[in-house]
């Protein structure tokens, strides 16, 4: 049982790790123009904030696309699907708010907000995935 469990968990973890690596690399190899005025840590925070924001938007778009694909399969009620979508919209609004902070030049605050939002998006992603899996087995 232990060997079987270890093999399954290893497969899940390894598949996750590969994707996580894809997420770690910046989306754009070029730093935002606004970050060129900075050096050292300030430049790093500026570039990191921009990258986390765009990755947040990409993940929200992927969740939206998943809802679009999954909804017609009938595993969720209309209320459930709308609830997930509302949460995705809320996450997008939080990203918009962080983006506005970024645009004002407060990169550390934007990075902090983006990181918090990213955590919420990841939690939503896992919730949708778990409920979709549960729906398929019922």
Partner 1 sequence: MTAAVAVALVELAPVIEASIEAYKILQDAKPILDTYRAQAAQGATFEQIATSIRALTVTAETDAQAAVDKLPAA
Give the residues lining the site for partner 1 (CB under 8 A).
1, 4-5, 8, 12, 15-16, 19, 22-23, 25, 27-33, 50, 53-55, 57-68, 71-72, 76-79, 81-82, 85, 88-89, 92, 99, 125-126, 128-130, 132-134, 136-137
For residues 54 and 97, which CB has a smaller minimum distance to partner 1 in the complex? Answer: 54
Nearest to 55 by CA among 80, 84, 17, 91: 91
Minimum separation from the CB atom of position 25 to partner 1 (A): 8
For residues 85 and 109, which CB has a smaller minimum distance to partner 1 in the complex? Answer: 85
DSSP string, 91-125: HHHHHHHHHHHHHTT-HHHHHHHHHHHHHHHHHHH
CB 101 within 8 A of CB 110: yes
* Six token digits for residue 81: 């699907």
Minimum separation from the CB atom of position 116 to partner 1 (A): 18
Minimum separation from the CB atom of position 5 to partner 1 (A): 6
- CA of residue 32 relative to chain centroid, distance: 20
Minimum separation from the CB atom of position 133 to partner 1 (A): 3
For residues 33 and 40, which CB has a smaller minimum distance to partner 1 in the complex? Answer: 33
CB 131 within 8 A of CB 70: no
């Amino acid at each position: 049982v232990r060997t079987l469990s270890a093999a399954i968990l290893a497969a899940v973890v390894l598949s996750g790790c590969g994707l996580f690596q894809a997420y770690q690399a910046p989306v754009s190899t070029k730093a935002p123009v606004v970050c060129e005025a900075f050096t050292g840590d300030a430049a790093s925070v500026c570039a990191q904030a921009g990258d986390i924001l765009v990755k947040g938007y990409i993940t929200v778009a992927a969740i939206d696309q998943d809802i679009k694909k999954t909804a017609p399969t009938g595993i969720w009620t209309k209320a459930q699907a709308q609830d997930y979508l509302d949460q995705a919209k809320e996450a997008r609004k939080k990203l918009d708010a962080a983006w506005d902070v970024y645009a004002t030049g407060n990169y550390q605050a934007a990075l902090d907000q983006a990181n918090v939002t990213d955590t919420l998006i990841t939690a939503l992603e896992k919730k949708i995935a778990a409920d979709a899996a549960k729906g398929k087995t019922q």
